[in-house]
Amino acid sequence: MIFPRPAWEQFREGIARMPLKDQWLKRLFLGNAMDVDMDATGRVLVSPELRSAANIGKETLLLGMGSHFELWDKATHDAKEAEAMLAGMASESIQDLTF
């Protein structure tokens, strides 16, 4: 996930308030967070450590998710999306959508 600074601070506060039983989730989110920079052409520079942890290859997708972005390896995203589409069509939640 990639957050603008104000959204990250709000998310971080919520994670920090999690109970002690969720200490490993806190470690995953807070312990692995790092600032990223943009280069002169506006590209986000993601560290090799984060790319490796997320299995990010050459083809990527940047998805806007409201308060943050998600950076995905394209093949992984495509597989997860197909899985979610199959599961989602059987979900009761989809019936609650209105347009």
CATH number (domain holding residue 56): 3.40.1550.20
- Confirm whether 84 is domain-assigned: yes
Give every CB contact of residue 63 below 8 A, 6+ residues apart in sequence. Answer: 69, 70, 71, 72, 77
Length of the chain: 99
**pTM score:** 0.70
- Confirm whether 97 is domain-assigned: no
Distance between first and last Cα of the chain:
28
Could you list the pLDDT tens digit for every one of the 99 residues in the chain?
888 889 999 999 999 999 999 999 999 888 888 888 888 998 888 888 888 888 998 899 999 999 889 999 999 999 999 998 888 766 676 677 777
Number of domains the chain is built from: 1
